[in-house]
Amino acid sequence: GHLYVSGQLPMADGAVTYTGRLGAELDIEAGQAAARLCAVNLLAQASAALESDLSRVQRVVKLGGFVAATAEFSDHPKVMNGASDLMVKVFGEAGCHTRFAVGCASLPLGAAVEIDALFEVE
């Protein structure tokens, strides 16, 4: 089957930890850290849905990334590498996935990045 996890923000301890826009307040490294934290939260939600058994994930199918950025910023895929790299680290080859990365003017709570996911699960 499939497990859809809705958009996760770069939150820790109930607060957004990376706010602002890429190309203005944040650089690529901060954006990658924000994306990585979104991925951590995606995995936490997947774990909760799978009764704490991430071994049920057969593969990561797709990540969808929204990056708050200036109109001039064009390195959205580099930002998403923070999340993609974590999925491969956790799941190995099964963590390889398709993805999109788009820029937007703003995200909820001023977050720098929001990412959703589709997992194939048993």
Beta strands 98-104 and 113-121, pairing class: unpaired
Summarize the confidence of residues 20-33 as an average pLDDT: 98
Summarize the confidence of residues 1-6 as an average pLDDT: 98
What DSSP string runs through 16-83? ES-BS-BTTTB-HHHHHHHHHHHHHHHHHHHHHHTTT-GGGEEEEEEEEEEEEB-TT---HHHHHHHH
So what's the pLDDT on residue 51?
97
Summarize the confidence of residues 4-30 as an average pLDDT: 98
How many structural domains compose the chain? 1
So what's the pLDDT on residue 87?
99
- If we measure between CA atoms, which residue out of 66, 71, 70, 47 comes closest to residue 121? 47
Domain range enclosing 44: 2-121
- 28: pLDDT confidence band, cut at 50, 70 and 90? very high
So what's the pLDDT on residue 57?
99
Check which CATH number belongs to the domain holding 24 and give it: 3.30.1330.40
- pLDDT tens-digit readout, 44-101: 999 999 999 999 999 999 999 999 999 999 999 999 999 999 999 999 999 999 999 9
Q: Is the pTM of this model over 0.95?
A: yes
Alpha-carbon span 59 to 55, nearest angstrom: 10
- pLDDT tens-digit readout, 6-16: 999 999 999 99
